[in-house]
Structure 1
Amino acid sequence: MASDKMKAVLVHYNHALSLYKSRKFAEAKEEFKKGLAILPEDGPSKLYIERCDDYIADPPPEDWDGVYNMKTK
């Protein structure tokens, strides 16, 4: 069973993911950071923060389907 800490992280993560998919990258980044404050080793949140930074700097096209395309290998 998930710990209370993990449940709290999941609340932030799910909210952040919803913001991310709605192209609200700055808001999503802040929500992912709230999850990391609870569980600093949360890899998925770290990854999405990097993606949010990428999309804040260079937004995806208007027809973006939510898929992240890596720019480097």
Structure 2
Amino acid sequence: HWYGRDCMKALVLQALRDESLIPPPCNGSVIVESTLLPLLENRERMEYYEKQDEFDVKKRLYSFNKRRSKFLGSRQE
């Protein structure tokens, strides 16, 4: 299976909004970052890393602002 550049980029950008897609899958395999990251603009690449860090945290803490909730880090118990 082969993804074109635009389709691959769209898949990565979709993964930024759906953590089940990080890392982006392809036919049951994971697409490696060295393939994905060159497709992204600097801003998108930074967002990818931020979301990856956020999605790695199990107990997340977010700001209370309902319009623009922001990830603050790990929640302590």
In terms of fraction of residues, the more strand-rich structure is 2
Q: TM-score, normalising length from structure 1?
A: 0.44
Q: TM-score, normalising length from structure 2?
A: 0.43
In terms of fraction of residues, the more helix-rich structure is 1
Q: Identify which of structures 1 and 2 has the higher relative contact order when contacts are C-alpha pairs closer than 8 Å and 6+ apart.
A: 1
Q: Tell which structure's C-alpha radius of gyration is larger.
A: 2
